[in-house]
Every structure is written in C-alpha cells, then in structure tokens.
Structure 1
C-alpha cells in the first residue's frame, strides 16, 4: 500500500469582524503561505485599522474562541484555520483613543512634533514600509477603493436586496443609501431591513443618511449586498399567539 497523502487547499475563506461589531465586512479569501504580518497588512486594506496596532482573534462558526494570531513571522497555514471561521480584529490604538478620559487633560502634539518622534506608530510603519508607506500596498488600496466605489454606485436606493454578512442569516430589505459614511473608511450601503434586525434608524453619530424605524437600519459593505427581485414578506410582529 502506498503512502497516504493529505492535501489541503492553499487558501482559506474567512469571515471578518472588528471591535466595532455593528460593521460587517463579509468573507475574504487568504493564501496560507503568507505571514501574519502580511495578513495584517491585507486586513488593514479591508477594515481601515492599523496593522501595527491590531490584534487578531479567531473564532469558530458558533463563536467559540480558537486562538490568537500573535506571531507576526508565522505563516497563516501554521494556525488551525478552516473555511467559515472568523477573524476578529481588535485595534488597540483605536480602542485607546475611544476611551472616555473624563476631565483628564489630553496630551496633544502638533503634526511636526509627532513626525519627529521615533516611538510613534507612523515611524514604525515608515521604517518597516508597512501600510500606506508601502508602494504595493498603496496601489492595491487604490484599486480596491475604485472597485468598491464602482460596486456601490451600481446599488441604487430603492432596490430590493438580500444582505449576507458574517455570523448571521441572510436578511431581506430595501436599499436606502449608497455612499460614504463619516468616520468609516470606503463605501457603504444603507439598508432598511424588513424586520427589526438592524442597529439604528438611519442616523449614525448625529448624522441622518436615511430614515426608517429604529432597529431596522444598518450599514454594510457593498460586497455583502445582492440586489434583485426579493419580495417583501408579511411579518405581522403584533400578532398574538
């Protein structure tokens, strides 16, 4: 009997979520022969987080923590990652900036002073040619932004749609908005769901992008949206049992 050889795919399909859990980035395909450092650079393109300050946690389909991808020099394929699992991105730098410091005076630097510091995130990225200081990254980011913009522009307000996001069943709704959202990177689709499965009423951080009942609205990436003939179902939420 000959030797038994087990073959695995060179790629893995993973869902992506961030510490801002009201945003869904859908599924992405990653090669297993890249390092965790290179994976972080790719995730920076997708999420807008900083590859220098992000941590990556992995979860099963039923949301059980598997491990943390904490060795930047290790290959993606060296970790127990399977199709359908979720990468959860935590940006420590962003989380520190979002903490409420109350009346504690904030330490602020001018752009010129910040540029002179050797211990800054900016200097780390420049020295290691990461993020926007990497020419290949910058070109790839530009291409992705152009593709996302083109896709967003093809999804017009008023169209019926189906939304498929990470760790959630498909949801039906109506496109209400297509464009940019203040404070978020890239292009987004504002959707009014047929059921109260959203996050808001079309207003985010005091700015109104569209109007709908509370908990019916959501913003998702264009890649998560399919438009078509999706008839609205009759949900009688007030029906008594």
Structure 2
C-alpha cells in the first residue's frame, strides 16, 4: 500500500498563510482527493490523516517520489521541497555523493587505460565474458570509442561469434568479416600464445 501527497500546480497551489492544498492518492485505486492541510502539520500527524499509513511519499512538480519519514514538517510548496532536499543533501543536491561517484568513475577509467596499454594490436588473446564460454581472437583495436565512454578492445574472433564487421554506429574501427567482430572491456581480454582454432579442415582431402 502506498499513499502519495502531491504539491504543485493546480490543486497543489498554496491557498494562504498556514495552509496548503494537496492531492492525496493511493496505489490501491485510481481515485484522488483534494484536501487542505495546515503547513504546521508534522509527518506523524499528516500520516494520521491518510488511509494508508505504512508508506507515504511526497512528490512535487519534478523529480522522483520522496519517502517521508520522521517527525518533520510537510513541505508546503515546490520551493519548500527544494529546500527540504537541499538541507538533507538528497538527489541532485548531494554534491559530495556526486563528486564521489565521479571520482570512482575516473578511477575505473584509469584502471581500464592501464589494462588497455598492455594489449598490443595484432596479438592473439582469449576473451572471457560472464556467463559465456571463452573465445579465441585477435586484437584489432584498443582505445576509446564513439558509442560508449571508457576504453574498449576490438577483437576479431576465430569463429563467427561476434556482432559486427568492425564497424559500429557508422564508424569503422577495424576490418573483419561480418559476425566476427566485437568490442569488449580490457579486463575481459587475456593476451598470450593462443593458436588459431583448427576446424579440422586440413584433415579432409
């Protein structure tokens, strides 16, 4: 069960000092009711006025639903909701979390760059992807691409187990037959002395 209170344009406009009109809806049915509340209500008091008190979300004119917990005043308007999020550093106002995630991404790219630098073009390799058997291939491209950020390794498989012919999104990165080419992350590639697979054709005359 979920009850949601929406504050915004239309019925969600502030009606006057000390009061706000909210749209109260439930996930159990499609009906909505417009109710007027005092802006001095605490969350505990506000929950007591709703038919479903186990879960409560507050949504504004933008952004995801905000779970409301604790004994705090209900934000009466979109501007108050922004202040509410800013004070608690939630969502886009979590600058420390955003910077931390950006630093972690840069660290992953640095690790990928180091792995990619150890993969020479033309070298034989083994490709291991989660949930798939290992495949033998030749390294045809190493570097960044237009289709996704980070570092990628273009390989030409010994068998038609790939996805393309070395061209992705209209840009050609290397040459190979259709269905023999693929791009994988550097950590999935192990260079080494891997002879090309023998399909037994030499045994037939």
Q: What TM bracket, shorter-length normalisation?
A: 0.5 to 0.7
Matched, 1:224 2:188: yes
- Residue 128 of structure 1, CA deviation: 4.3
2:92 alignment partner, one of 126, 134, 145? 126
1:155-186 per-position Cα deviation (integer Å, ceiling 9, x unaligned): 12100000000221000010000011212121
CA distance in 2 between counterparts of 1:210 and 1:120 reads 43
User: 1:224 and 1:230, CA in 2 relative to 1: closer, same or farther beyond 3 A?
Assistant: same
2:117 alignment partner, one of 149, 153, 162? 153
Matched, 1:136 2:111: no
Conserved? CA contact 1:195–1:235, under 8 Å: no
Alignment length, in residue pairs? 121
CA distance in 2 between counterparts of 1:118 and 1:156 reads 52
Name the counterpart of 1:206: 170
Unpaired runs of at least 5, structure 2: 1-59, 65-81, 83-89
CA distance in 2 between counterparts of 1:179 and 1:142 reads 16
Unpaired runs of at least 5, structure 1: 1-116
Report the secondary structure of 1:179's partner residue: strand
CA distance in 2 between counterparts of 1:149 and 1:235 reads 35
Larger RCO of the pair (alpha carbons < 8 Å, separation 6+): 1
1:14-68 per-position Cα deviation (integer Å, ceiling 9, x unaligned): xxxxxxxxxxxxxxxxxxxxxxxxxxxxxxxxxxxxxxxxxxxxxxxxxxxxxxx
Q: Larger C-alpha radius of gyration, 1 or 2? A: 2
CA distance in 2 between counterparts of 1:177 and 1:217 reads 10
CA distance in 2 between counterparts of 1:120 and 1:183 reads 28
CA distance in 2 between counterparts of 1:226 and 1:170 reads 10
CA distance in 2 between counterparts of 1:125 and 1:159 reads 45
Report the secondary structure of 2:133's partner residue: coil
- Residue 227 of structure 1, CA deviation: 0.3
1:85-136 per-position Cα deviation (integer Å, ceiling 9, x unaligned): xxxxxxxxxxxxxxxxxxxxxxxxxxxxxxxx96258x97413458xx6222
CA distance in 2 between counterparts of 1:219 and 1:125 reads 34
Conserved? CA contact 1:160–1:228, under 8 Å: yes
CA distance in 2 between counterparts of 1:129 and 1:236 reads 60
Name the counterpart of 1:170: 134
Q: TM-score, normalised by structure 1?
A: 0.45
Q: TM-score, normalised by structure 2?
A: 0.53
Conserved? CA contact 1:198–1:218, under 8 Å: yes
5 Å matches for 1:95-110? Answer: none
Question: Cα RMSD over matched residues?
Answer: 2.8
